[in-house]
Amino acid sequence: MRDAPLRLRFAPSPTGYLHVGGARTALFNWLLAKKSGGTLVLRIEDTDRSRHVADSVEKIVQDMRWLGLEWDEGPEVGGDHGPYFQSERLEFYRKYTDQLIEQGKAYYALETPQELQAARLAARKEKRSYAYKRPDPLPTCEEADAARQEGKPVTVRFATPGKDLVIQDEILGEVRLASQEIEDFVIQKGDGWPTYHLACVVDDELMKINYVIRGQEHLINTPKHVALQEALGFSTPRYAHLPLIFNMAGAKMSKREKLTTIRERLGQATKGYKAGTPEAEGFYSKLYEVVGGAAVVDALGEGKADEAILEKFATFFGLELPEVNVHDFRLGGYLPEALLNFMSLLGWSAGDDREQLTLAETVELFDVDRIGKANARFDRKKLIAFNTDWCQKVTPERLVEGFGDYLEQTGSPMASAGAAVKIHLLSVCAGFRTFRELESKCGPLFVENDRIVFNPKAVKKLLVRGDRAGYKMLAKVLPELDACPTWSPKELEALFERLCADYDTKLGNVAQPIRVAVTGTNVSPPIFDTLAILGKEKTIARIQQCSSLQEE
């Protein structure tokens, strides 16, 4: 059995974008599948209709593809063990639930959610832990039917075997859950749909999964799954639970990272405000205007805010939200190579302090034995350093492809620039940390002239200061540029050299005012490249525009 080819699965729930924790799980499963010559199944666990978010599957599929983590069976590729959406597999779950009921290993439960909630509250009041108490006698099939007739929800619970549940984890070793910690859990909900536990166990069996890699947050579920497998006569896969991922503040990384950031910022902003005071009212009315009303702020307080709303708060506060989803990193200007390399080290190490690894090298070196037990730390600075290195390491073709993807995803005006221009800028700006950084440096070259945003500090320092020396320089250089017959970085360099000699001044004194005039800022690609890419006409027009907008 141990030698059977491995069948692994990545089983996301479609509750939104693929976050880094999920992506790390996908990656480790993919690595083991590749390393062992096994099969990776992508299964969509969509039985919790209340948490279902539209378009999530498309997003997950897109992000997996962007990372290059292809699957062998699953949505869009098919396979012999489908369907791969749990919502299309209800007949299987019903069949096994019925089997468990028939064998007396599961039973109907008739309590309403309100009754269960009341029992929980009573336990809390009496300071004792709550566990569902198995009814005696168990409700019969007729009683369940009658309850349904009355419109009451009828669930099915698994009769736990009443013994300690033990699993052998490939990373953590023996994990034991004492019998009193396991209550009779629900396997079929009131709406007739299976719970995650049942669906997962049935599918792992029917899809012949023999190795499960998932996050440690699921460790609590595993003994339940093993108990269900035993009750159903299924085989038990090998389990490897990956260490949790913590942020640098020492809290578990979660999808809620963005929400927490905004809540903290809102808390700081409103600290000391008293309700009803003009100060508070003024602040809130501005906030409501941007985010869309008081109800939105209340929803945020309750932890209910989708990505679009979070972005509105971020705009209001001028905040950059921490990237948590794979898609955020794509929009943040990271290369998938860098993100993969970084994620592979969240819990795993290659040994020998080797960290910079291609995906092929990671496959080669990957071994579950080298996955640690300790929490992994999501060090964003390290990820940026990785990205900086990767951007210098990949081939120019790959770099321009990655940059092109970034520009398209973000809708940058630079997306329409020709490949040669992009390649040139990537090379003259080498050393950039992210595509986002590069784009903000080069972006002004690709907007309409009247869309340039002048940075007040740069204008003051490089144009106004010193008796308007910068503006005067623009006036002097303009006819020289206008008279320049050829327009290439080389010719421009020669021209600027001559001007420096004529004016007996340093290059910076000539170039910086021009840089501000044509880009609005003091940061741009090298000046000769900047002007060459802009072309003569635009350069002249922009200098004239800047001069005519002279600030006092």
Residues identified as active-site: 255
CB of 92 to ligand GLU, least distance (A): 16
Neighbours of 110 (CB within 10 A): 17
The set of residues, in sequence order, having a beta carbon less than 8 Å from that of 276 and lying 6+ positions away, is: none
CA-to-CA distance for 195 and 453, rounded, in angstroms?
54
Count of residues in contact with ligand GLU, rule CB under 6 A: 7
Q: Is 200 in the site for ligand GLU (CB under 6 A)?
A: yes
Of the listed pieces 5-13, 294-302, 325-333, 340-348, which binds ligand GLU according to CB under 6 A?
5-13
Which residues, other chains included, contact 401 with Cβ-Cβ below 8 Å and sequence gap of 6+?
none
Query: What phi and psi, each to the nearest 5 degrees, are found at residue 388?
Result: -60, -45
Q: How many other CB atoms are found less than 10 A from the CB of residue 281?
A: 12
The residue assigned the tokens 């290659």 is 350
CB 376, min distance to ligand GLU, A: 17
Any contact of residue 86 with ligand GLU (CB under 6 A)? no
The least CB distance from residue 273 to ligand GLU, in Å, is: 39
H/E element holding 490? helix 489-503
Nearer to ligand GLU, 236 or 521 (CB): 236
Identify the DSSP state of 236: P
Applying CB under 6 A, among 6, 7, 8, 11 the residue interacting with ligand GLU is 11
Residue 407 in 3-state DSSP? Answer: helix
Non-local (6+) Cβ contacts of 289 within 8 A are none
Instruction: Give the nearer residue to ligand GLU in terms of CB position, either 12 or 243.
Output: 12
Return the DSSP state at 170.
Answer: T
Task: Specify burial of residue 60 (Cβ count, 10 A radius: 0-12, 13-18, 19+).
Answer: buried
How far apart are CB 25 and ligand GLU at their closest, in Å? 7
Candidate segments 7-15, 181-189, 377-385, 507-515, binder of ligand GLU by CB under 6 A:
7-15
Enumerate residues 209-238 that contact ligand GLU by CB under 6 A.
Answer: 214, 218
> Which helix or strand (DSSP H or E) is residue 174 part of?
strand 173-177
Beta-strand (E) ranges in 22-164?
39-42, 106-109, 155-158
Three-state SS string over 6-45 comes to CEEEECCCCCCCCEHHHHHHHHHHHHHHHHHCCEEEECEC
Which residue has 């990205």 as its token pair? 387
Binding-residue pattern over the window 339 to 378 for ligand GLU, x denoting contact by CB under 6 A: ----------------------------------------
Per rule CB under 6 A, is residue 12 in the interface with ligand GLU?
yes
CB of 231 to ligand GLU, least distance (A): 18
433 CB contacts (<8 Å, ≥6 apart)?
Answer: 384, 387, 388, 391
State the minimum distance, in angstroms, from the CB of residue 200 to ligand GLU: 5
Nearer to ligand GLU by C-beta: 12 or 347? 12
Query: Of 10-18, 27-35, 376-384, 531-539, which segment contacts ligand GLU by CB under 6 A?
Result: 10-18
Phi/psi at 194 (nearest 5 deg)? -75, 160
- Closest CB 195 distance from ligand GLU, rounded Å: 11
Region from 11-19, 56-64, 380-388, 530-538 binding ligand GLU, contact rule CB under 6 A: 11-19
Span from 8-16, 69-77, 137-145, 389-397 in contact with ligand GLU (CB under 6 A)? 8-16
Task: Specify the residue, 41 or 514, whose C-beta has the smaller distance to ligand GLU.
Answer: 41
Q: By C-beta, is 165 or 459 nearer to ligand GLU?
A: 165
Question: CA-based diameter of the chain, in Å?
Answer: 103
Contacting residue, 6, 8, 13, 59, with ligand GLU by CB under 6 A: 13
Per-residue contact string for residues 28-47; x = within reach of ligand GLU by CB under 6 A = -----------------x--
Residue 14 as a binder of ligand GLU (CB under 6 A): the answer is no
Rounded to a whole number of angstroms, the minimum distance from the CB of residue 245 to ligand GLU is 14
Distances (CA, A) of 534 to 16, 81, 483, 542: 41, 56, 16, 10
Interface with ligand GLU (CB under 6 A): 11-13, 45, 200, 214, 218
